[in-house]
Chain A
Amino acid sequence: MQRIGVFVCWCGSNIAGTVDVKAVAEALKNEPGVVFSTDYQYMCSQAGQDLIKNAVKEHNLTGIVVCSCSPRMHEATFRKTASAAGLNPYMVEIANIREQCSWVHKEMPLGTQKAIILGKAAVAKVNLNTPLTPGESPVTKRALVIGGGIAGIQTALDIADAGFPVDIVEKKPTIGGKMAQLDKTFPTLDCAACILTPKMVDVAQNENIRIFSYSEVEAVKGFVGNFEVKIKKKARFVDETKCTGCGACIEKCPQKKVPNEFNLGMDTRRAIYIPFAQAVPKVATIDPDYCNMLKNGKCGVCTKFCAAGAIDYKQKDEMIEEKYGAIVVATGFEPISMDKFDEFAYSQSKDVITSLEFERLTNAAGPTAGKLLRPSDGKHPEKIVFVQCVGSRCSACAEKGKEYCSKICCMYTAKHAMLTRDKYPDTEVTVFYIDVRTPGKNFDEFQRRAVEEYGVNYIKGMVGKITPEGDKLKVRGSDLIANKQIKIDADLVVLAAAIEPDKSARPLATMLTASMDTNDFFTEAHPKLRPVESPTAGVFLSGTCQGPKDIPETVSQAGAAASKVIGLLQKDKLVGNPCVASSDQLMCNGCSSCERVCPYGAISYEDKDFPGPNRTTKTRRVAVVNPAVCQGCGACTVACPSGAMDLSGFKNTQIMAEVDAICK
């Protein structure tokens, strides 16, 4: 039996004005378990807290009910008071008789009556309270960054700078991501490689960072502070420790007809390749789909020319298992496929290209060495049409496009238009747009410069159809401001394709039990206040995997994610919330109902032996809740058909007792 003390607060006249506090204290005296009941002007004051502490000692209290303001206000205060008096802090319950009683009811008898009932409910609950101790778990002081684009690179560098080891997992043979493919960056027009590649070198040289390139995350187990991750290092058939990146093998490789994905298939590479000159790690990779030696055992040229003896045709995929305290997702984006946009003739003409292809065409390291030439005939285009919002803001065509704004297209299209006019002033450049959206530091000025200084022709309206005719592209669109149809015979059309999350994001989210929105962008723990954390504890978000964003935004989010990781890793122990679910294994039948509703993946199953009849043992599958992962929502408690699942602090019996007290 509990020995409960009831403490009714006046809160000056805030409560005492509409609630007869003395009557409340008197009425609660006779409730079961109550051995002491009093009232005081300000229970949260030092004197009020001392009153509670003294009463605990004097009356040997085991539970406390404070009838006062909202628990959201002072529950923590009174729990500390209880702790100081030697009681378990979770033996305190608050009856909210201010915000939910005295402040909303005007008549004294009604207010008093309700306050008594709320007090009774709290007493009924405390009678069933049990001391709770938060669990502690250790923290593995190592972080994993998934994705080696600018987001992953920045996050890894920032974490490593704080002194914690970081591993980057990148599925491509080199880090660098999409930014490495870009030519110039808005709004400053400095070259992407000039600002990115030094960072890539920093990563390679940082003692705290390991790069697993050409690798993918295969499985994730565990929870915040204690993740166990399996990483598959794909066979590149080249010994990374021996390869010097000299490139002799690439020069001699006879298989020359491999589409070069780094240049988006606009030129070719060899079967053994280094994606680009500044790749990190600068190590060759053999493409098993095209290598003659791997396909039919006839060739071996690269072995002959490799002075380092790095070629290893027998190399196998390698599994690496490592423990991490925190995981950062930085999986980035892809432009959407243009297959469904037949009206723009992307599949019919080589001269209809996407903006990313345009970046490669104007890049000095690209397939044309930076000369803007038509992919079909290598001629210099005289009329270029840019079409914005291809697949973006496409609510009517959700099956082929995206409803959201891709955010970066207005700026990079202005950049492309400006650069074209700058390099080739004889070129006529037209941009079709729905709206020009350029919020950002120096962004609007940048777009206006494209129009005012570089004479780019901006037309508000959408392109309806593009038809290749001879060596021209007939562009038909509408000018909504002049209210007329427009026909342009263009030489080159550039489509600002919408961006979508990388395809690897969805399976990764499942592995991490991190939630995603309907567009497969990772969901943040709170859209405004916790933008770099996923709802799954210990999983953080960096860059475009969370939503479309440009480089400056990505870098700042990457830094923010890193600071959250550092904050987690510098702790030696994590103290959990003790109000978590647990399953009564004698009642559990292992049906998986709870696991299916758990948003955090906190529930797993194990086979356990139970005594059966005649001294036999029976093995049964039972649910086990990981208290470090459980956030205490209670979804499982209701889903459980056998009533085995319960939630500490909000037990079935406790809530039922409150219902009974209220309905008496």
Chain B
Amino acid sequence: MQMKEYKPLIVAFCCNWCSYAGADLAGNNRLNYPAEVKIIRVPCSCRVNPMFILRAFQRGADGVIICGCHPGDCHYTSGNYYTRRRMATLFSMLDYLGIEKERTRVEWVSAAEGAKFAATMNDFVKTVASLGENKRLEDLRCKR
């Protein structure tokens, strides 16, 4: 029997200054990427609390990606460096808990990189889709 096509649920955190603008540029240039990607705007990638990511996985997200300004270009000068360190720690912990490293990602996308944003999302969705549904952290109490 043919299975229904699996669509992963992807949460993307984008910093307001670079990556959110990069996502807008992807839109301006009509560069397609899967509708499974839902973007949440944050002032800086360093605003992303690991709790948000855990929450997303508990709620049934299949992949979480954080996009920020390139190192050295942060609007707040150093925010993305904190992101890089915090996420390296968090992702290895998640990997230990059974959330594969491929389901989490940090990418630097500038406001001029609409094409990179679309390409990144296409690639990330493909990678996560190949891993299948994420059940590991899903908290049934969070599901209504």
Contact = CB atoms under 8 A, between A and B. Distances in A.
A599 B27 CA distance: 32
Contact of A656 (B31, B50, B52, B76): B52
B89 to A, nearest CB: 12
Interface in B57-83: 59-61, 75-79, 82
Nearest to A600: B76
Given A105-B32, A515-B77, A633-B76, A660 B55 contact: yes
A633 B44 contact: yes
**Central interface residue in B50, B56, B76, by most chain A CB within 10 Å:** B76
Interface residues of A, number: 45
Contact of B42 (A72, A118, A655): A655
Nearest to B138: A663
Given A638-B46, A659-B56, A664-B59, A631 B38 contact: no
A104 B22 CA distance: 13
A663 B56 contact: yes
Contacts of A72: 16, 20-21, 24
B43 A659 contact: no
B55 A659 contact: yes
A548 B20 CA distance: 34
A117 B38 contact: yes
A382 B20 CA distance: 65
B48 interface: yes
Given A99-B28, A121-B38, A658-B40, A633 B59 contact: no
Chain B contact residues (Cβ within 8 angstroms of A): what range? 35 or more
Interface stretch (A108-116, A277-285, A300-308, A438-446): A108-116
A663 B32 contact: no
A125 to B, nearest CB: 9
Interface in A637-664: 637-639, 647, 650, 652, 655-656, 658-660, 662-664
Interface in B17-50: 20-21, 23-28, 30-35, 38-44, 46-50
A114 B9 contact: no
B78 A660 contact: no
Nearest to B144: A664
Interface in A226-277: none
B6 to A, nearest CB: 15
Given A105-B32, A106-B32, A114-B35, A659 B47 contact: no
B43 A650 contact: yes
Contacts, number: 134
B79 A633 contact: yes
Given A523-B77, A660-B59, A71 B41 contact: yes
B50 A634 contact: no
Given A662-B40, A663-B61, A635 B52 contact: no
B118 interface: yes
B102 to A, nearest CB: 19
B11 interface: yes
B51 interface: yes
Interface in A50-77: 70-72
Nearest to A98: B27
A106 B30 CA distance: 10
Given A104-B26, A663-B9, A647 B47 contact: yes
A609 B24 CA distance: 48
B48 A118 contact: no
Contact of B76 (A105, A114, A118, A631): A631
A633 B144 CA distance: 33
Contacts of B142: 660
**Central interface residue in B31, B39, B48, B142, by most chain A CB within 10 Å:** B39
B56 to A, nearest CB: 5
Interface string A424-452: 00000000000000000000000000000
A637 B24 contact: no
A388 interface: no
B101 interface: no
A635 B80 CA distance: 9
B126 interface: no
A118 B11 CA distance: 11
B136 interface: no
A637 B47 contact: yes
Contacts of B40: 121, 655, 658-659, 662
B135 interface: no
**Central interface residue in B25, B41, B79, B86, by most chain A CB within 10 Å:** B41
A117 B11 CA distance: 12
A638 B50 contact: yes
B35 A638 contact: no
Contact of B77 (A106, A111, A535, A647): A535
Nearest to B38: A662
A647 B76 CA distance: 15
A597 B85 CA distance: 12
Contacts of A173: none
Nearest to B61: A663
A104 B33 contact: yes
A118 B39 CA distance: 8
A535 B73 CA distance: 12
Contacts of A110: 35
A44 to B, nearest CB: 16
A156 to B, nearest CB: 28
Given A103-B30, A111-B35, A650 B47 contact: yes
Nearest to B75: A633
Interface in A115-150: 117-118, 121
A100 B55 contact: no
Nearest to A639: B82
B42 A663 contact: no
13 contacts: A72-B20, A103-B28, A104-B27, A104-B32, A106-B32, A599-B78, A631-B76, A634-B46, A634-B47, A638-B86, A650-B42, A656-B55, A662-B56
Interface of A: 70-72, 96, 98-101, 103-107, 110-111, 113-114, 117-118, 121, 515, 523, 535, 579, 597, 599, 631-635, 637-639, 647, 650, 652, 655-656, 658-660, 662-664
**Can you list the 7 inter-chain pairs with the closest CB atoms, starting with the nearest?**
A99-B27, A634-B47, A663-B59, A633-B76, A103-B27, A99-B24, A110-B35
Given A96-B41, A634-B79, 8 more contacts: A71-B41, A103-B27, A104-B33, A515-B77, A638-B48, A655-B40, A659-B61, A662-B38
Interface of B: 9, 11, 16, 20-21, 23-28, 30-35, 38-44, 46-52, 55-56, 59-61, 75-79, 82, 86, 118, 142, 144
